[in-house]
Amino acid sequence: MKLSTRELAILAVFGALWGLVEISLGSVLKTLNIPMSGAVLAAIGLAVALIGRAFVPQRGSTLFIGAIAMLLKLFSLGGAVLGPMVGILTEALVAEIVLSMGGQPRRMSFILAGAFGVAWVLLQPFVTGPLLFGRTVLVVWLDLLDRGGRLLGLQPTAAIWIVLALLVIHLAVGGLAGWMGWDIAKMLQSRLGRMTTDVIQ
């Protein structure tokens, strides 16, 4: 991936915006213990990264933005936790894979990238829990059912429905982030009078 100075500066700006969301809004949401704060943060962060992708439509640019945001989160004043850092990088990686498979940026690829990126938030505890913290998959599963049941007002015995509903919600939130990211990118490109950095150069 060869990037010009302008492209590097644009990626830096979008990485900083994602990092800013994680540092400021992330701390507030976690402190207030708002349900699904992870999905909300991932959706906003991915929307930012996807807008960045529209301005630098090169393979690896979304992952690059994620790497910058992850580093900013790592060195933020609130102290670092490994979970959010792994989350940022893997969400960016998932979005990058989806976008790279889609070829040229399109609305549909943005929606899919957002949806799968946010859906990762649901799966992440099953990977980081046993790997990093030694939590068993069963404990993570029970925790998910408990939180999901309380959020949706369902009994934990309706496990399948809880998981399906959570998955649909995550996919919808992510899809919406992708949709909004595409709209904002197009709005910005028309307002700023440019399409992508390729056109400028």
Cα–Cα distances (Å) from 144 to 16, 105, 125, 154, 186, in that order, read 31, 34, 9, 12, 37
Q: Which stretch binds other proteins (CB under 8 A): 5-13, 91-99, 103-111, 155-163?
A: 5-13
Q: Does 145 bind other proteins (CB under 8 A)?
A: no
How much is the CA Rg of the chain, to the nearest whole Å? 17
Q: How many CB atoms lie within 10 A of CB 142?
A: 13
| Nearest distance from C-beta of residue 16 to other proteins, angstroms | 4
Q: Does 13 bind other proteins (CB under 8 A)?
A: yes
Q: Does 142 bind other proteins (CB under 8 A)?
A: yes
Among 28, 108, 132, 168, binds other proteins (CB under 8 A): 132
Among 104, 191, 193, 199, binds other proteins (CB under 8 A): 191
Q: Does 199 bind other proteins (CB under 8 A)?
A: no
Alpha-carbon span 113 to 84, nearest angstrom: 19
Ranges of H-type helices in the chain: 5-20, 26-32, 37-55, 61-74, 82-101, 107-128, 137-152, 159-191, 197-200
| Nearest distance from C-beta of residue 36 to other proteins, angstroms | 17
Alpha-carbon span 183 to 154, nearest angstrom: 35
| Nearest distance from C-beta of residue 110 to other proteins, angstroms | 14
Please provide the distance, in angstroms rounded to a whole number, between the alpha carbons at the two ends of the chain.
17
Q: Does 187 bind other proteins (CB under 8 A)?
A: yes
The single-letter code of the amino acid at 29 is L
Q: Does 17 bind other proteins (CB under 8 A)?
A: yes
Q: Does 136 bind other proteins (CB under 8 A)?
A: yes
Counting residues that bind other proteins (by CB under 8 A) gives 52
Q: Does 172 bind other proteins (CB under 8 A)?
A: no
| DSSP 8-state code for residue 195 | S
Q: Does 68 bind other proteins (CB under 8 A)?
A: yes
Residue 36 · residue 114 · CB < 8 Å:
no
Q: Which residues bind other proteins (CB under 8 A)?
A: 1-6, 8-17, 19-20, 23-24, 47-48, 51, 55, 64, 67-68, 71-72, 74-75, 79-82, 131-136, 138-139, 142-143, 180, 183-184, 187-188, 191-192
